[in-house]
């Protein structure tokens, strides 16, 4: 009984963080669309990125709960494991970025909109995973977790692309009056 509650709580916390990330990406995108305050948009994008990373932490905790209690076979748990998380995370991000190479020509606002869309879908999948956990349907919860993780990676990709777009097109040659060194 405790396992379902703990895993469901982690999924709901992840959903909440993805929802916050979605809102911050939408606000950042609005700043790009109206054509002013790009620095504030970048700040909001950074907050959205932090919420996405926190959501991924909660997902990892839920997956660790599954693994700790041997409720799933090993092949069902294909989300990032604690062994070497950044290598596996970057490998998956590279795969995700190769899938969306067409999207690299988007504007900063479009990248933020895409990141918000993926964050929204990740939140939905986490909500479904929480429901499956409460019903002790752990393989279905693991599948929803995988889908949420994939959307989170795409959200991170689009957030990074928006940041790259900001630096390439809107960042001035000086910051706070001091020349930038390359």
Q: Which alpha helices (H) appear in 35-137, and where do they start and end?
A: 38-68, 85-99, 108-134
The answer to the question of residue 147 being in a domain is yes
The structural domain count of the chain equals: 1
Residue-level pLDDT at 58: 92
**Which residue range is the domain that position 57 belongs to?**
2-175
The answer to the question of residue 180 being in a domain is no
Residue-level pLDDT at 12: 93
The answer to the question of residue 181 being in a domain is no
Residue-level pLDDT at 114: 92
The answer to the question of residue 80 being in a domain is yes
The answer to the question of residue 127 being in a domain is yes
Dihedral of the alpha carbons of 158, 164, 167, 168, in degrees to the nearest 10? -120
Q: Which residues, including other chains, have CB under 8 Å from residue 33's CB and lie 6 or more apart?
A: 109
Residue-level pLDDT at 81: 45
Residue-level pLDDT at 118: 95
pLDDT in tens, the chain (182 residues): 576 688 889 999 999 999 999 999 999 888 888 876 777 888 888 899 999 999 999 999 888 877 665 555 554 444 444 444 444 444 555 554 444 454 557 888 889 999 999 999 999 999 999 999 888 888 888 889 999 999 999 999 998 888 888 777 766 544 554 444 43
DSSP state of 79: S
The answer to the question of residue 182 being in a domain is no
The answer to the question of residue 160 being in a domain is yes
């Amino acid at each position: 009984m405790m396992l379902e509650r703990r895993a469901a709580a982690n999924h709901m916390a992840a959903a909440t963080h993805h929802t916050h990330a979605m809102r911050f990406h939408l606000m950042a995108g609005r700043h790009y669309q109206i054509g002013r305050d790009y620095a504030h948009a970048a700040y909001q994008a950074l907050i959205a990125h932090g919420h996405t990373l926190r959501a991924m932490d909660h997902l990892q905790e839920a997956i660790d709960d599954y693994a700790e209690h041997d409720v799933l076979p090993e092949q069902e748990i294909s989300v990032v494991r604690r062994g070497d998380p950044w290598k596996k995370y970057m490998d998956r991000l590279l795969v995700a970025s190769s899938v969306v190479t067409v999207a690299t020509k988007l504007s900063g606002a479009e990248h933020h909109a895409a990141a918000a869309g993926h964050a929204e879908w990740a939140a939905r999948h986490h909500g479904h995973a929480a429901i499956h956990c409460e019903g002790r349907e752990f393989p279905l919860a693991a599948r929803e977790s995988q889908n949420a993780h994939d959307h989170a990676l795409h959200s991170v990709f689009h957030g990074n692309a928006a940041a790259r777009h900001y630096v390439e097109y809107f960042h001035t040659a000086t910051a706070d009056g001091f020349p930038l060194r390359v």
